[in-house]
Amino acid sequence: MGYVRRVCTIAAVGTLGVLPTAGIAAAQQHAQQPAPEPAQPKVLRVALTTGIDHLNPFTASLAASTQVGRFIYEFLTIPSAEKAAAAPALAESWRISPDKLTWTFKIRQGAKWSDGQPITAKDPAFTFNRMLTDETARTANGNYVANFASVTAPDDATLVIRTKTVQATMDLLDVPIVPEHIWAPIKDLTAPETDTVPVVGVDDGPYRLTEYKQNEYLKFAANKGYWRGAPKVDELQLLVFKDVESAVNALKQGEVDVLNRLTPTQFDALKDRPDIATNQAPGRRYNEITLNFGVQNAQNQPIGNGNPVLKDIRLRQAIAQTIDPKTVVDKVMGGYGQLGGGVIPPIYQAYHWDPPPDQARGFDLAKANAALDAAGYRKGGDGLRTEPGGARLELRLTGHANRGFDQRVAQYVSGWLHDIGISVKQELVSDEELNDRTNAGNYDLAISGYATNPDPDYALSLHTCAARPNAQGKGGTTDTFFCDPQYDQLYAQQLAETDPAARAGYVKRAQARLSSQAVNVVLDYDNALEAYRSDRFSSFGKQPQPDGPILEQTGYWGVYGAVPAVARSGDSAANTGLWIVLGVVAAVALFGSGYTLGRRRAIPMDDRE
Amino acid sequence: MKGPFTDSRQDGQRGGTGTARFVAVKAAEAAASIVLVIVLGFFLFRLLPGDPIAFMARDRPTDPGQIAELRDRLGLDKPILAQFGNYFLGLFQGDFGESYLERRPVLDMIGERLWPTVLLVGSATVLAVAIGLWLGIRAAWRRDSLFDRAQTGIALTLWSVPQFWLGLLLLVATGGLFPSRGMHSPDAAPGFLPQTLDVLHHLILPCLTLLAVFYAQYMLVMRSSLLGEMNADYLVTARAKGLREDLVRRRHAVPNALLPTVTLVFMQFGMVVSGAVTVEAVFSWPGLGQLTYDALHGPDLPVLQGVFVVLAGAVVLMNLLAELLYRVLDPRVRTG
């Protein structure tokens, strides 16, 4: 009955058998890595730290998936590299009818899909019409066509879109254009084949999809016939990392060339490495504290359990004056952020609003204290104030329990509010719980934030009356529950204004109106923190230029503009390590088998069964 | 009139029927457990805070019409009992629902992720059983020796180390010799052999991490189980027969001490699919653990429910097998 020993021996030998094969695989991989010779293909490896839901551009919603769409499909127009403003892409030019309802796009001629078929105006017409007629096709970008009356292609070079009402977002429709001859025969857009290379691989962007291993990686080949000119790297790889720390380690070890979404700590740790360059760029996300001013649902019925005292705008303004965005940027963000103003971050310069000096509240505890004294909030002996009704002035502050930013902001805000006589009860909860509380209006102060787009419409729409949820707590995506006729009018005016300068004016006035009501305090705009292998790549395309992000952008400029470095260091060090490992494995294998054989021989014959 | 032969035949018949009944009862219990799991899984996940639609619409321009459409399509408008009815009936037709996040059938998603997890956790478990039992036997046989104390100490330490931390440590320590992510390299050559080697290359670090944590419990259980047998009379008899110490251990003590371990091994096999959430996240291994990790963030309820049913089903099934196997292995259970 030596089966235990036999099992153990087989397992041990099996393990030892596996290790050398892995070593061979390691050797193979190292052998396959591009050597300095110019004949080797230049590969750009990007760490992808967020998930991919679909490749199908009609249904792909997650940020990384839409980015894939940008790499492989041309759009009618795209946000330019310089300023993230509308620039020609598939459409060479466009004009608007005098009534601002008809948009005529002139489609670039001579370009081809990757299967050789010509690209014509019929392709964008098909794409938009499919979205108008097929509910599934509206999954990802339906909001862009909701206002379309008709889309036609009178000839191969002309696309005509008529809208029901004036739509300012028409020059930046964030919709990938697909080839009609591939997608028209596909009746069910939820079919798994729409996520495969034979379908999605027929494309026309700067890169062409060549391989997709779900949840693992995507491979792209440079489109040599791309109308802007072929990218300078031959192959693009997006490698899925579930853990940013592992991705940082992979960057250090040269497994990936570029990654983003670093924490300030990780970013600082990478700064001093000679082979790695870092990029700190203005981001497109705002962080804020929202104040429950007595929120209502879409039917104007009060909801939630917010402290009614916050209905007093004098109190809200005093609170806003007590919060110091500079401390948040310096102490909480470690300097990696920009001071807060309106809800459109400064990366979108044309629409960003900062309060003019005469309207800026400034961080001023004395003024806030005086304002509260004047408003009748009396201070007791313990330094805390009471509401006019006699109750102690106490507010709840909710935020994400698992987010360092929220934890530290909560500490600072509690301290500041205490200084003006307001007691704060911190309630940091799970993401889901926070979502539930803020959707239902069950908060006094909440730490929140949103990512914005180059077009200001989305960020502004989050504060319109229409964005509020219905009586069941559903139906809208509001940020602040703000509902103000003056704001809504400015929102409608910017949406209907096609003159960029005039539109920017409305956008800024809308932000000023929102700010004046003190329903939220924009704390800061996060920086995009990125790093890349400077020994392999000398530069990347930034958007906007010159200081924008590489990966966190709304375009393909980052990877399209990647320039490989002239020389690359060899892999000799890694290979030395590999040989050491192989040597150790071989020694262990020899020792192990020798030991096992020796033991068997040592058992006398008459003891064997 | 009863003779000895009649008696034995009757015993035999009774034994056969007993086994059949035993199997039937155990199978029925297992089936009941699975139904309970389905019911619990459905309502338990409904207690999680968070509106799936708000999650899907987060950070994306979504108009109320789109949101209403989504709600209708996912059946979230219906009363909860109706939702449960649909879900329960669907399960019997192999329909685990549609993921909120990816909007694909949950069964497809679980199917894609099952094999990588079985490969990773399965191989780690097989190795952990082999190494754990071997070390446990040695440690028990030389109890209180330096070897025993060292092994027990190492095992207890590794058992208490967080898996993700150990994984990250291994990643840094091996300095790029092994890939830090995924199961396949985009640069691997086509063909069966290179692809297999590529997977093995990717498997080493996550497997080693799991192995380091897993083997400890087998080692400790085997050790204590064997210690329980050490002073048994039959060992004295075996030694009295003049058997070498080595053979006393291998042929007499170990087989008896192995019985409780078998149950543990089988029960642990049921956990094979669930045991690697953090390790899969560290190494971006495309398995069920990672799927669960992603789904929890939503929460993507249909995926969580599906994974829950599959995992719980595996545990129930393996427990059933363990009970049946134990009956086969240990005659005392049969006669008792």
Chain segment B198-207, per-residue pLDDT in tens: 999 999 999 9
At residue B5 the predicted structure's pLDDT band, cuts being 50, 70 and 90, is: very low
Q: Cβ–Cβ of B64/A451 closer than 8 Å? A: no
Percent of chain A's residues with pLDDT above 90 = 62
In angstroms, what separates the C-alpha of A218 from chain B's closest C-alpha? 8
Give the pLDDT of residue A93: 96
- As given in the structure block, the two tokens for residue B188 are 């691997």
| pLDDT beyond 50 at A27 | no
Q: What is the band of B238 on the pLDDT scale with cuts at 50, 70, 90?
A: confident
pLDDT at A435: 81
Task: Sort out which chain A residues have CB atoms less than 8 A from B183's CB and list them.
Answer: 216
pLDDT-derived band at A583, boundaries 50, 70, 90: low
- Inter-chain contact B50–A214, Cβ cutoff 8 Å? no
Give the pLDDT score at A360.
82
Mean predicted confidence (pLDDT) in B72-93: 83
What is the distance in angstroms between the Cα of A118 and the nearest Cα belonging to chain B? 31
- A177: tokens are 């254009």
pLDDT digits (tens, 9 = 90+) for A266-300: 999 999 899 999 999 998 899 999 999 999 998 89
Task: Give the gap in angstroms from C-alpha B247 to the nearest C-alpha of chain A.
Answer: 8
Considering only CB atoms, A439 lies closest to which of B54, B59, B187, namely B54
Task: Report the amino acid identity of residue A477.
Answer: T
Sorted by where each starts, the structural domains of chain A and their CATH numbers stand as: 43-257+536-564 (3.40.190.10), 283-528 (3.10.105.10)
Does the CB of A215 have a partner CB in chain B at under 8 Å? yes
Question: Are residues B189 and A32, on separate chains, in Cβ contact within 8 Å?
Answer: yes
pLDDT of residue A361: 82
Q: Tell me the per-residue pLDDT of B118-177, one tens digit each, with 9 for 90 and over.
A: 899 889 989 999 999 999 999 998 889 999 999 999 999 998 888 889 999 999 999 889
What are the structure tokens assigned to A386, written together? 């009471």
If you write DSSP's letter for every residue of A312-379 in order, what string do you get? -HHHHHHHHHH--HHHIIIIISTT-EEE--SSS-TTSTTT-----TTT---S-HHHHHHHHHHTT-EE
Question: Lowest-confidence range among A140-144, A520-524, B1-5?
Answer: B1-5
What pLDDT was estimated at residue B260?
76
pLDDT, tens only, A31-74: 444 444 556 889 999 999 888 889 999 988 778 898 999 999 99
User: Quick one: B174 exposed, middle or buried, by C-beta within 10 A (0-12, 13-18, 19+)?
Assistant: middle
Distance CA A238, CA A216 (A): 9
Of A315-319, B13-17, B219-223, the poorest mean pLDDT is in: B13-17
Residue of A nearest to B202 (CA): A22
- What is the spatial distance between Cα A509 and Cα A229, in angstroms, rounded to a whole number? 41
- Phi (first) and psi of residue A386, to 5 degrees: -120, 150
The structure tokens listed for A546 are 């010159």
> How crowded is the C-beta side of B156, counted as CA atoms within 13 Å?
7
Across the range B86-95, mean pLDDT stands at 85
Average pLDDT (A21-26) is 43
Preferred mutation among B202, B203, B254, B284 to probe A, highest tally of A CBs within 10 A: B284
Q: Contact A143/B62, CB-based, under 8 Å?
A: yes
**Measured between beta carbons, which residues in chain B are less than 8 angstroms from residue A430?**
49
Chain A hits for B108, Cβ within 8 Å: 192
User: Pairing state of beta strands A217-222 and A394-400?
Assistant: unpaired
* pLDDT tens-digit readout, A380-405: 888 899 988 788 999 999 999 888 89
Chain A residues whose CB is inside 8 A of the B238 CB are: none
Instruction: Report the C-alpha gap between B129 and A8 in whole angstroms.
Output: 9
Q: Which of A127-141, A225-239, A249-263, A557-571 has the lowest mean pLDDT?
A: A557-571
Q: Cβ–Cβ contacts within 10 Å for residue A417, how many?
A: 23
**Lowest mean pLDDT, pick from A239-243, A438-442, B173-177, B331-335:** B331-335
CA distance B24 to chain A (A): 31
CB < 8 Å to A2, chain B: 250-251
Whole-angstrom CA distances from A594 to A334, A597, A601, A604, B240 are 58, 5, 11, 18, 32
B119-145 in b/e burial notation, b at 16+ Cβ within 10 A? Answer: bbbebbbbbbbbbbbbbbbbbbbeeee
User: Residue A361 in contact with residue A317, Cβ under 8 Å?
Assistant: yes
Instruction: Detail the DSSP E strand segments found in A97-141.
Output: 102-107
Instruction: Return d(Cα B165, Cα B169) in angstroms, integer.
Output: 6
Residue A6 has pLDDT above 60, yes or no: no
The alpha-carbon gap from A343 to the nearest alpha carbon of chain B, in Å, equals 14
- C-alpha A93/C-alpha B275 separation (Å) is 57
Q: Which of B110, B172, B187 to mutate to test the interface with A (most CBs of A within 10 A)?
A: B187
Most confidently predicted of A435-439, A559-563, B249-253, B271-275:
A559-563
The residue whose two tokens read 């109750």 is A391
* Span A411-434, average pLDDT: 92
User: Given an 8 Å threshold on Cβ–Cβ distance, is A190 in contact with B103?
Assistant: yes
pLDDT value of residue A219: 96
Q: State the CB neighbour count (10 A cutoff) for residue A228.
A: 11
Q: Which residue has the higher pLDDT, A154 or B247?
A: A154
Nearest to B178 among A26, A214, A240 (CB): A26
Whether the CB of A471 is below 8 Å from some CB of chain B: the reply is: no
Average per-residue pLDDT for chain A: 86
**Portion of chain B with pLDDT greater than 90, in percent:** 27
Amino acid identity of residue A26, one-letter, is A
Cβ separation B204–A19 shorter than 8 A: yes
Decide if pLDDT at A4 tops 60. Answer: no
Distance from CA of B250 to the nearest CA of A (A): 6
Compute the average pLDDT of residues A510-531.
94
Nearest residue of A to residue B249 by CA position?
A2
User: What is the residue whose two structure tokens read 């080493």?
Assistant: B204
User: Residue A466 and residue B64: Cβ atoms within 8 Å?
Assistant: yes
* A246 closest CB neighbour out of B112, B180, B185: B180
> Residue B102 and residue A53: Cβ atoms within 8 Å?
yes
What whole-number percentage of chain A has pLDDT above 70?
A: 86
C-alpha distance from A85 to closest chain B C-alpha (Å): 19
User: What is the rounded CA–CA span in Å between residue A522 and residue A511?
Assistant: 11
pLDDT in tens, A156-180: 999 999 999 888 889 999 999 999 9
- Per DSSP, the three-state class of A150 is strand
How confident is the model over A318-351, as pLDDT tens digits? 999 999 999 999 999 989 999 888 999 998 889 9
Interval B11-43: pLDDT, tens: 444 445 677 888 899 899 999 998 998 888 888
Please give the average per-residue pLDDT across A545-563, as a whole number.
91
Decide if B137 and A432 are in contact by the 8 Å CB cutoff.
no
**pLDDT on residue A182:** 97
Q: Is the pLDDT of residue B60 over 70?
A: no
Residue of A nearest to B289 (CA): A242
Q: Looking at beta carbons, which residues of chain A come within 8 Å of B134?
A: 4, 8
Contact A51 B63 (CB under 8 A): no
Half-sphere exposure of residue A584, counting CA atoms within 13 Å on the CB side?
7
What pLDDT, in 10s, does the model give residues A357-380? 887 888 999 999 999 999 999 998
Give the residue-averaged pLDDT of B77-85: 85
In this complex, the residue of B58, B177, B184 whose CB is nearest that of residue A216 is B184
Residue B130 and residue A51: Cβ atoms within 8 Å?
no
| pLDDT of A144 | 87
Distance from CA of B176 to the nearest CA of A (A): 6
Q: Which of B228, B304, B234, B236 is nearest to B259 (CA)?
A: B228
Sign (positive/negative) of CA torsion A128, A133, A135, A136?
A: negative
Candidate from B57, B101, B204 with C-beta closest to A53:
B101
Please tell me the predicted confidence (pLDDT) of residue A603. 45
- Cβ separation of A216 and B134 shorter than 8 Å? no
Q: Determine contact: A468 vs chain B, CB below 8 A.
A: no
Binding-face residues of A in 23-62 toward B, CB within 8 A:
24-26, 28-29, 32-33, 43, 51, 53-54, 59, 61-62
ipTM: 0.80
- Across the interface, whether the CB atoms of B197 and A28 are under 8 A apart is answered yes
Whose structure tokens read 């794409």?
A127
Return residues 175-214 of A near B (CB < 8 Å). 190, 192, 211, 213-214
Q: Are A444 and A273 in contact (CB under 8 A)?
A: no
Select the residue of B51, B102, B129 nearest A436 (Cβ to Cβ). B51
Q: Work out the burial of residue B279: count CB atoms within 10 Å of its CB; fewer than 13 is exposed, 13-18 middle, 19 or more buried.
A: buried
Residue B42 or A540, more confident:
A540
CB < 8 Å from B in window 230-259 of A: 237, 239-243, 245-247, 249-250, 253-255
Q: Which of B177, B198, B290 to mutate to test the interface with A (most CBs of A within 10 A)?
A: B177
pLDDT at residue B9 tops 50:
no
CA distance A180 to chain B (A): 24
A291-300, A492-501, B295-304: range with lowest mean pLDDT: B295-304
pLDDT band at B4 (very low <50, low <70, confident <90, very high): very low
Q: Determine the distance in angstroms separating the CA of B20 from the nearest CA of chain A, rounded to an integer.
A: 29
Q: Yes or no: say if B269 and B281 are a contact pair by the CB < 8 Å rule.
A: no
Distance CA A18, CA A273 (A): 35
Q: Chain A: residue nearest B68 by CA?
A: A475
Q: Is the pLDDT of residue B223 over 70?
A: yes
Average pLDDT over residues A93-97: 95
Taking residues A502-512, report their average pLDDT: 95
Q: For residue B269, is pLDDT > 60?
A: yes
**What is the sign, positive or negative, of the torsion defined by CA atoms of B53, B56, B59, B65?**
negative
Interchain contact A217–B (C-beta under 8 A): yes
CA distance A244 to chain B (A): 9
Residue B275 confidence (pLDDT): 60
Chain B contact for A592 (CB, 8 A cutoff): no
pLDDT of residue B247: 83
B134 → chain A, closest CA residue:
A8
**A601, exposed or middle or buried, with CB in 10 Å at 0-12, 13-18, 19+?**
exposed
Rounded CA-CA distance A426/A433 in Å is 14
State how far the Cα of B291 lies from the Cα of A493, in Å rounded to an integer. 45
